[in-house]
Amino acid sequence: MSKALKWSIFALILIAIGVVLSHGVIVPRFLWEPRLQTIQNQYPDQTIQVKRVVLALSLKPQLIISEIEIDAPNRQENVKIALLRFGVDAIESAQQGRLQIKAITVKGLAVNASRQADCGSVNLSCIPVLPVALVARGWASTQVANPGFFTPELALNTLELEQAQFTVNNPEAQQELSGKLEQFKFKVGNSAPDNQFNLGWRVGIKTPQENNELYIAMNAQTEAGPMREVSLKQLKVDIDGQWNGFPWTGSAEQDLLVLRLAQTNNGEGAPFIKLNGENLRTYVRRDDLPETHQAAFSAQQFEGGLPAQNWTLSKAEWTYTHEDAQAWTFNMNYAASEGLLELQPETIRGSEGIPAEAQVRELNCDADETAIREDKPYWAWQEGWFRVLNQHPQENSSLVLCPISTNKP
């Protein structure tokens, strides 16, 4: 065999290996199963199964895990993922000395849970906990004292979910709470035209008495900033559907919304999302002929955080048309630890709204609260709309704002 032929064969072999690796090769089970078993041992109350792991090598390597199932019998929850793909930036990983995960794609996500609680409305007791726990585990795996090269660091610029379905059932009450992500795509990078945030979310509740369904669509231009900061520009939200027996439509627009990941307890506690925004405008309409209910809310600036953080609103306005049309302008501070809303009067140029009276209100107070101001009404979200009540509502309400004394102990 000639030397030239040998080199030709060698080159072809290298090309074939490169093609195979770039398109992905199945990782032998004995290489990754011990790691899976270690995770399983950490959570003995759950069953974790994985069918296949594929590795594709290039300047942007990808790790693909398929047919994942996590079952938690004690929580009566089950999570299935058809495909989970991690994209890594090889050059940046070498520079940082640690694997940089730049993209995550989730396909065929199915979450199923069973509850004994009343799931005839959206409430925390009917939201699956396991998906949140899985995300928390993933986050915790990146927060280690002495990370090595193979300790992943989340530096996401792309997150995609395809065909995601969430279902919570209460068989005894014949209730089903469901949510379906028809599309979710978040991308932020160096090319402005490609930086997009798109969301299509359908949520529904079925009971023997009702069949509620809302569709929510969101889109915005994204931009990355320092300190794990993301800006959503020209954010638009549209809502449409049938809820509590009434047809609803709604919309929201915002010039700028900035999101930043932070942590409680001076950076040592649980993560939360810090938000601040400019020029928020919302509108909602409920058609229940012969009446039509409409409300609008706007705020020139706001800042806060989720979950359970303090909030401030500057130059806000609330307008509604039901019985008598009214509009108020105000500033607001919300103290999350105490559940108190402080409203202060504000004048907005060009607005016909009346500056609101200075007052303090409490979220969802008890009916036998002794510090309630009897000269001011309750504000309650009840029967599908805000109602003004002279007494604490006897029926279930999603939200009650109670007028309290400013010298409440």
What's the CA gap between 394 and 317, in Å, rounded?
29
Handedness of CA 251, 233, 230, 155 (dihedral sign): positive
What band does 256 get if pLDDT is binned at 50, 70 and 90? very high
**Residue 188 burial class via C-beta count within 10 angstroms: exposed 0-12, middle 13-18, buried 19 and up:** buried
pLDDT averaged over the chain?
85
Half-sphere exposure for 168 (CA within 13 Å, toward CB):
23
What's the CA gap between 11 and 23, in Å, rounded?
18
Would you say residue 409 has pLDDT above 70? Answer: no
What's the CA gap between 390 and 378, in Å, rounded?
6
Q: What is the pTM of this model?
A: 0.80
Candidate ranges 25-39, 255-269, 380-394; pick with highest mean pLDDT:
25-39
pLDDT value, residue 407? 56
pLDDT value, residue 11? 46
Would you say residue 381 has pLDDT above 80? Answer: yes
Query: Bigger pLDDT: 54 or 192?
Result: 54
What's the CA gap between 149 and 93, in Å, rounded?
8
CB 158 within 8 A of CB 87: yes
pLDDT value, residue 201? 93
Cis peptide before 290 (omega within 30 of 0): yes
What's the CA gap between 210 and 199, in Å, rounded?
26
Would you say residue 359 has pLDDT above 50? Answer: yes
Would you say residue 344 has pLDDT above 90? Answer: yes
Summarize the confidence of residues 157-166 as an average pLDDT: 92
SS3 for 126-176, per residue? HCCCHHHHHHHHHHHHHCCCCCCCCCCEEEEEEEEEEEEEEEEEECCCCEE
What band does 376 get if pLDDT is binned at 50, 70 and 90? confident
**Which residues on neighbouring strands pair with residue 213, listed in sequence order?**
204, 242
CB 306 within 8 A of CB 269: no
Phi, psi of 396 (to 5 degrees): -65, 135
What's the CA gap between 156 and 144, in Å, rounded?
18
pLDDT, tens digit (0-9, with 9 covering 90-100), for 261-313: 887 777 666 778 899 999 999 999 988 777 778 899 999 999 999 888 999 99
Would you say residue 72 has pLDDT above 90? Answer: yes
At 112, which helix (H) or strand (E)? Answer: strand 100-114
Lowest mean pLDDT among 22-36, 295-309, 347-361, 383-397: 383-397
| Angle subtended at Cα 103 by Cα 101 and Cα 107, rounded to the nearest 5 degrees | 125
DSSP string spanning 20-66? HHHH-EEPPHHHHHHHHHHHHHH-TTSEEEEEEEEEE-SSS-EEEEE
CA trace torsion 35, 37, 40, 42 (10° rounding): -70
What's the CA gap between 333 and 383, in Å, rounded?
27
Query: Bigger pLDDT: 39 or 266?
Result: 39
Summarize the confidence of residues 167-182 as an average pLDDT: 92
Three-state SS at 7? helix
Q: How many residues does the chain have?
A: 409
pLDDT, tens digit (0-9, with 9 covering 90-100), for 313-323: 999 999 987 66
pLDDT, tens digit (0-9, with 9 covering 90-100), for 97-142: 898 999 999 999 999 999 988 888 777 788 888 998 888 888 788 8
- Express as a percent the part of the chain with pLDDT over 90: 44
DSSP string spanning 198-224? EEEEEEEEE-SS-EEEEEEEEEEEEEE
In 3D space, the residue among 320, 201, 207, 304 whose CA is nearest the CA of residue 260 turns out to be 304
What's the CA gap between 197 and 191, in Å, rounded?
14
Lowest mean pLDDT among 128-142, 201-215, 234-248, 270-284: 128-142
Would you say residue 333 has pLDDT above 60? Answer: yes
Neighbours of 99 (CB within 10 A): 23
**One-letter amino acid of 278:** E
